[in-house]
Structure 1
Amino acid sequence: MTLSFDDIPLELLPIIFDSIVRAQHLAFLCLVNKSFNEFAIQRLYRRVYIYAWHTKAKSKVVLLFQTLSNCPRLARYVSRLEIRAFPKALPSSSYSDLLDLCTRGIRNCVNLRSCAWTRDGSLESVILLALQQCPQLEELEINGKDSGYYDPNILTRFSKLARISLIMPSAQVIEILPSWISATGPTLRNLTMICQTSSLITDTLLESLAPSMTELDQLSIIGCPKVTHRGIGEIVSTNHNGLTSIGLERLSPAFDMTSFNRICKEHRAFRRLRSITLAVHIETPFQTWTDDVTELLSTAPLEILQVYAMTPTAKVVVPDNFWKTIVTMHGSRLKRFSIDRMTISLGALRDICSRCSVLEQLFVVTTRHNLDDVSSCFAAARNLRAIHVNFYHELNETQERSMMNDALRIVRQCPATVTQIGCDTRVWNVRREVRMNDRAELYTLPTLTRYENPDIPEQFLVARGA
C-alpha cells in the first residue's frame, strides 16, 4: 500500500514539527498541504529572530514588520521576538515609516511573551510604548544605553515582568532602575545586567534594589568592577526562597569570597542553587578561593558549574583537589561542567568524565598537541550530548583548516550520545552514518553537519562580556 502525507494522523503533526529547529524547514512544511500548514505556520512564527550575522538582516527587519503589521493572524502566533539587528542609516522619512511598521506589528503580537531588542540606538520610545501594550509580555531584554532615543521613564510602566536583561545601561536608565524594580518586584524572577567596565552599577545601587527582589530566582551581574561581595550579599540575604542560579563575572577585584561565603551560609542562600558561573581574577589566591567556593557550594543541589579566568592564560591552574571535591559533592547531579581560560589536568578531567554520571555538556580548554589525551577522557562520560574545546593559541596555526579535523578527532573517541561538537569559534551538529564494510558488517561513521539551532551555543555565553 502506498502512503502519502495525508495518511499521517493529524495528532502526530505537532509532535513531529516540535523537533524541527530551522525556520527554513518549517517554511517548507507550510507548503505541503493545508493540514501541514495549519500546524507548521504556528511554529514558524512562534519565535521570530533576526541576528546581525544573518544575510541581509536589516532588510529582513522591514519585511518582518510588514508581515506582522499587515497580517494580524500571523502576528498572533508570535510568542518570542528577537531583534538583534536594525537598519538605522535610513532617510528620516523612511526611518519614521519603519518605526510605524514596527509599532503596528508589535501591537498585533497580542500573545507576545518575550522580547529582545538589543541593537545600540535602535530602541525608541514608540517601540517601548507598543511593547507596553502587549498584555502577556513577561520577558524584556534591551540595550540600556538610551542615548536620548527613548525615555527611560517608560520602563517603569513594565510592572509585571518576570525577566529583565539590561545591556550597557546608561546613567539615566540606572537612575530609574530602583523605581522600575520596585514596580515589577513581585513578579520579577530573573535579573541580568551586562556591561563592559561600567562604574555605574555599584554596591549601593544593588543594596537599593535588594528589598524589591525578594522573590528573585536567577541573578547575573557581568562586567561591573564596582560591585563586590557587599552588594551581591545584600541581594542573597534578603531573598526569601534562595536563588536557583547566579552568575558573578568580571566584578571588583575586591570581591571577598570568604565574606560572601559567610553571608550565604548565614542565610542559607544557596539551598536551592542549581547553577553558578564564576570568573576568577588572575591575582586571586587560588587555594583560598577554591576553599571558599567549595564550602559555598557544599549545601547546593548543583547541576551546572561554569568557571573561567578573566585573563586567558595557561598559567592559571586550579588544584586538582578542588575538582575532585566538587565531583564528590555534586557528581551525581552535574549536567554541565565548563572550565575555560584555565588549565585542568588530565587526571582531573578524567575524574569529571568518569564520576559525573549524568554529565551532558562539557567545555574545556587545552593545547592541540594534547588533544588526543583530552579526547580519551571524554569516552568515560556515557551521557555526553555537547562538547566544546577551546585551544590555547599557538603560533603559525592555520586554524580554520584544522578546526573541523580537530572536531572529528574528538568525536571519534566520544560516546555515541554526542550530538554537538565545537572547537574555538566553530560549532557543528554530529550525525552518524551507517556504513557496511567488506565483510558485510554494519558500522557507524561520525560526520559533522551545520549547526541548525537558532539559539547561540551555550559555550559562547560562558565568558560573555569578557
Structure 2
Amino acid sequence: MAQLLDIPLELLVDIFNFVLKPHHLAVLCLVNKVFNQFATPFLYRHIYIFPWYKDSKSKVLSLFRTLAECSYLAAYVQTLEIRDFPKRLFSADHSYLSSLCVKSIRQCTNLRSCTWTKDGSLHSDLLRSLSNCQQLQELEINGNSGEYDPLILTQFQNLQKISLIMPSVHVLNVLPTWIKALGATLRSLRLICKASDHVTDELLESLSPDLADLEYLIMFGCRRVTHKGIGALVSANRNGLLAINMEALSPSFDMRVFRALCDRTQAFRRLRSITLTVPANVSVLDWTRDVYDLLSSARLETLQLYSIDMLGDTPVTHDFWQRIIASHGSRLKRISFHRIRADPATLHIICSQCPRLEQLFAVTERRDLEAAASSFSPARNLRTLHINFPLAAGEASMPPVTLMQTALSISSRCSPTLTCVGLNTQVWQVERVVCIDENGEKYTEPTLVPRENPEIPEQFLVGTM
C-alpha cells in the first residue's frame, strides 16, 4: 500500500499550498527533514499579527528575534502584516526590539508586501530598512509621523501599492513628491482618514498628473474631498480605473455632477469594482438613479454599498437592484451591502440572476432569515455568505448555539460550493461530510468548523489600524 512518503517530492509543494493554519504548517515541519525542507518556506511566506491574537505583543518579540537570528528564514518572508506592536516598554527593551525589527527587515530580502499600522510603532530606522527592500511592491503604514521622518518615504522605489492610514499633514506634504518619484509604477492609492481635514480636493488635483496610470483608488473618511477632487483623478487617468472606493467623503459630494464628468471622459469604461457610501443628506432615490447611470459603461464584477446609518425608512429600492442586476448580473461575482436592509425578494433576484456570484454580504431582518435562506440556493457558485440582522431596541441577541444552528440550516440550502458562512459577528468554515442513506447511496451534508484561513477579510479589520 502506498504511503504519503512514497509520493514524488515535487507534489509536496502543491499539497502544502492548501495548508492554511500556521500551526499545521509548524507540525509538518517536525515530521522529518524532507517535510521540513518543503513546509518551512510556506510557514514563513505570509506572517500576520493581529491585536486579537493571544499574547500578540509577545509574539512580535519572538517573531523578530527569530528573523534577526535566522537570515535564511527571513528570506522566505514575502508578506509581513503587523497590526499590533508593544508600545509600553522600558527604554532598554524598546531599543532592543527596535534593533531586532531593523535587522529582521534588512534580512527579508524577498519581502513584497508590508503592513505596519500600529500608531507610534514605526520609526525612521525601520522605515529606512523597508525602503531598501528591493522586492517591496506594497506598503501600508500608519500615517502618524511622530516617530519617523516623512521624507524617508520618497526613498521607496518601484512601489505599486500605497496605503496611508490617518496620514499627518507632514506625510501629506511629501506625498506629491513621493508619488512623482514613483513614476508610472504606482497602481493603487489608498487613503484612510477617519474624518481628517488634511486630505482635500486641492491635494488630489495636485496629484492627478502623476497618477495617470492608477488602477485602484480607495478614499475613506476624507470629509473635505468632493466630486471635484475625485473627478480630477479620474479625468487625468489614461486607461480608466479598475476599482474605486468612495466612502464617507464630503457631504458636498455631488453624484450627479460626478456622473456627468465620468460620462464625458468614459472614466469607468474598465471599471470592475466600486464601493460607495450612501450619503445621509440626499434623496436615496435620486442618488441610486445617478449611481446606476454612473455605472452604465462599467464591466462591473464587485458592487459594495454602505450606509453610515441604518436605512430603514428610506431603503435602497427594489427597483434599483433589479436594474443593476439586469445590467451587470451576468458578471457580478461579489455583492456587499451593510446597514442597508434587503428583503427576501431582493436577495432572490440577486442569487437567481447573478450566475457567477461567489461572495454575498447582506443585511436582512431577523424575522426574514428563514425566507432569506431559501433565496440563496439558486446561487450555484456561492462560496462566501455573511448575513447581518439588526436587533431591535431591547431585543435579546441570539444564543451562540442557536446562531450556529441557524447558520448550518442556511448552509444546507446553499450550493455545495459554499466554504464560509457568517451571521452577525460569527464566522464559520463550511466543510462537507459524506453520509450513506438507507439504500447505501452516498450524499454529503454541511458541517461548520472554526475558520482556518489566517487572512481576515478587509471588512472585518475595523479597529485594527
Shorter-chain TM-score: which interval?
Answer: over 0.9
**Distance in 2 of aligned mates of 1:51 and 1:287:** 40
Within 5 Å, give how 1:415-430 maps onto structure 2.
Answer: 415-430=415-430
**Distance in 2 of aligned mates of 1:271 and 1:400:** 47
**Distance in 1 of aligned mates of 2:345 and 2:277:** 23
Q: 1:178 to 1:135 in 2, by over 3 A?
A: same
2:131–2:157 Cα contact (<8 Å) kept: no
**Distance in 1 of aligned mates of 2:398 and 2:50:** 25
Alpha-carbon offset, residue 195 of structure 1:
1.8
1:112–1:137 Cα contact (<8 Å) kept: yes
1:388–1:459 Cα contact (<8 Å) kept: no
Q: Which residue of 2 aligns with 1:107?
A: 106
- Cα displacement string for residues 75-115 of structure 1 (whole angstroms, at most 9, x for unaligned residues): 11111111111111111011101111110111000111110
Q: Which residue of 2 aligns with 1:460?
A: 460
Q: Are positions 1:172 and 2:173 aligned together? A: no
**Distance in 1 of aligned mates of 2:344 and 2:48:** 40
**Distance in 1 of aligned mates of 2:280 and 2:414:** 32
Partner residue of 1:341 out of 333, 339, 356: 339
How many residues end up aligned between the 2 structures? 463
Q: Secondary structure at the match of 1:235?
A: helix
**Distance in 2 of aligned mates of 1:46 and 1:65:** 14
**Distance in 2 of aligned mates of 1:319 and 1:398:** 28
Q: Secondary structure at the match of 2:145?
A: coil
Letter in 2 for 1:113: R
Structure 1 residues 381-390 or 345-354, which shifts more? 345-354
Alpha-carbon offset, residue 347 of structure 1:
2.1
**Distance in 2 of aligned mates of 1:283 and 1:406:** 37
Letter in 1 for 2:172: I
Alpha-carbon offset, residue 255 of structure 1:
0.6
Q: Secondary structure at the match of 2:263?
A: helix
- Cα displacement string for residues 311-362 of structure 1 (whole angstroms, at most 9, x for unaligned residues): 1242341121211111111111100011221122322221111110110011
Q: 1:406 to 1:459 in 2, by over 3 A?
A: farther
Alpha-carbon offset, residue 406 of structure 1:
2.5
Letter in 1 for 2:452: E
Structure 1 residues 402-411 or 138-147, which shifts more? 402-411
Q: TM-score, normalised by structure 2?
A: 0.96
**Distance in 1 of aligned mates of 2:313 and 2:376:** 23
Letter in 2 for 1:421: V
- Cα displacement string for residues 439-459 of structure 1 (whole angstroms, at most 9, x for unaligned residues): 544332221101111111254
Letter in 1 for 2:299: P
Partner residue of 2:306 out of 308, 313, 332: 308
Alpha-carbon offset, residue 171 of structure 1:
1.3
1:315–1:342 Cα contact (<8 Å) kept: no
Q: Which residue of 1 aligns with 2:149?
A: 151
Structure 1 residues 285-294 or 376-385, which shifts more? 285-294
- Cα displacement string for residues 26-81 of structure 1 (whole angstroms, at most 9, x for unaligned residues): 11111122222111111111111111111111111111111111111111111111
Within 5 Å, give how 1:405-420 maps onto structure 2.
Answer: 405-420=405-420
Q: Which residue of 2 aligns with 1:295?
A: 293
Q: Are positions 1:233 and 2:223 aligned together? A: no
1:243–1:270 Cα contact (<8 Å) kept: yes
Q: Are positions 1:44 and 2:28 aligned together? A: no
Within 5 Å, give how 1:377-392 maps onto structure 2.
Answer: 377-392=375-390
Letter in 2 for 1:304: T
1:316–1:342 Cα contact (<8 Å) kept: no
RMSD: 1.6
Q: Secondary structure at the match of 2:148?
A: coil
Structure 1 residues 152-161 or 299-308, which shifts more? 152-161
Within 5 Å, give how 1:111-122 maps onto structure 2.
Answer: 111-122=110-121
**Distance in 1 of aligned mates of 2:340 and 2:173:** 37
Q: Secondary structure at the match of 1:342?
A: strand
Alpha-carbon offset, residue 464 of structure 1:
8.6
Unaligned stretches of 5+ in structure 2? none
Q: Which residue of 2 aligns with 1:246?
A: 244
Letter in 1 for 2:177: S
Q: Which residue of 2 aligns with 1:10?
A: 9
Q: Secondary structure at the match of 1:417?
A: coil
**Distance in 2 of aligned mates of 1:378 and 1:368:** 16
Q: Secondary structure at the match of 1:127?
A: helix
Alpha-carbon offset, residue 437 of structure 1:
4.1
Unaligned stretches of 5+ in structure 1? none
Letter in 2 for 1:30: C
Percent of aligned pairs sharing the same letter: 51
Alpha-carbon offset, residue 310 of structure 1:
1.4
Alpha-carbon offset, residue 404 of structure 1:
1.5
Q: Are positions 1:34 and 2:13 aligned together? A: no
**Distance in 2 of aligned mates of 1:305 and 1:131:** 34
Q: TM-score, normalised by structure 1?
A: 0.96
Alpha-carbon offset, residue 138 of structure 1:
1.1
2:132–2:156 Cα contact (<8 Å) kept: no
Q: Are positions 1:53 and 2:52 aligned together? A: yes
**Distance in 2 of aligned mates of 1:318 and 1:98:** 50
Structure 1 residues 338-347 or 438-447, which shifts more? 438-447
**Distance in 1 of aligned mates of 2:275 and 2:93:** 44
Within 5 Å, give how 1:52-451 maps onto structure 2.
Answer: 52-147=51-146, 149-394=147-392, 395-401=394-400, 402-451=402-451
Letter in 2 for 1:334: L
Q: Secondary structure at the match of 1:48?
A: strand
**Distance in 2 of aligned mates of 1:464 and 1:277:** 19
Q: Secondary structure at the match of 2:248?
A: strand
Q: Secondary structure at the match of 1:195?
A: strand
1:274–1:301 Cα contact (<8 Å) kept: yes
Q: Secondary structure at the match of 2:194?
A: coil
**Distance in 2 of aligned mates of 1:329 and 1:367:** 27
